[in-house]
Amino acid sequence: MTKDDVGPITELGMLIGQFAGEEAKKRIMGGSEQITDLSPEEVAEWLKNTMNKLDTLIDEKTRIQIMENCGFNCAEINKNHIETTLAKREKFKTLDEFLEAEEKNPTQGTRLVREGGIIYQYYDPSAFKVRCFCSLWRGLKDNETVSPTWCLCSKGFVMKLWEALLGRPAKVELVESCISGAKQCKFAVHL
């Protein structure tokens, strides 16, 4: 693992400290200082154990705050993805026209399905031969699953994407995720 890959782990630790306190951060993030010395498989195992500690030691509301904020920060770092999606949206007069076009011609590894006032956004990392779009999981063994707590980070990212598309706050639910055992990641975006 390179020093560039450490950013999300450092960010996770800072957010745990911010929302759960420094003592919780110490208990949960133990070993993170040596993350650059680990193989991808060891990083995945460390992160899996870290999510288990987060689930055990931190209440659900705080876990959601921590992980959604990780996703918000990831969206800021990867704002070119959101800007590209916004540029596609601007080619259409209405949101409905944009959604119809996206349903008919989805971007590789994604798809949208509209059911009434809900858009289901699907991610399929296997289209890129990975289990998760987050590179921290590239060493996760095929038969292993991870706490869905991790995927609240993706929920935060999806929220920021849809807030940009809608021009207002977006309510998003994590329905299921690949690294937690589903075939695809699925988010419900309430319009």
Give per-residue pLDDT as tens, 20-50: 999 999 999 998 988 889 999 999 999 999 9
pLDDT value of residue 7: 83
Helix H or strand E encompassing 68: helix 60-77
Contact 153, 71 (CB under 8 A): yes
Q: How far apart are CA 161 and CA 157, in angstroms?
A: 6
pLDDT value of residue 6: 72
Taking the CA atoms of 74, 155, 125 and 132 in sequence, report the sign of the dihedral they define. positive
Strand partners, 118: 115, 190
Tokens of 108: 């590789």
Q: Shortest CA distance to 70 belongs to which of 11, 29, 24, 30?
A: 11
The full set of domain ranges for the chain reads 3-190
pLDDT value of residue 167: 93
The most distant pair of C-alpha atoms in the chain lies apart, rounded to whole Å, by 51
Give the position of tokens 């299921």: 176
pLDDT value of residue 2: 53
Give per-residue pLDDT as tens, 86-140: 999 999 999 999 999 999 999 899 999 999 999 999 999 999 999 999 989 999 9
What number is the average pLDDT over the span 58-74?
A: 97
Give per-residue pLDDT as tens, 164-175: 999 999 999 999
pTM: 0.93
DSSP calls for 114-165: EETTEEEEEE-GGGGT-S-SSGGGTT--TT----TTTTHHHHHHHHHHHHHH
Q: How far apart are CA 119 and CA 109, in angstroms?
A: 16
Q: How confident is the model at residue 1 (pLDDT cuts 50, 70, 90)?
A: low
Is pLDDT above 80 for 179? yes
Angle 139-143-146 from CA coordinates, rounded to 5°: 70
Q: Which of the listed CATH numbers 3.30.590, 3.30.1360, 3.30.1380, 3.30.70 matches domain 3-190?
A: 3.30.1380
Contact 127, 109 (CB under 8 A): yes
Give per-residue pLDDT as tens, 133-154: 998 999 999 889 999 999 999 9
Contact 42, 139 (CB under 8 A): yes
Is pLDDT above 60 for 3? no
Higher pLDDT, 4 or 140: 140
Is pLDDT above 90 for 4? no
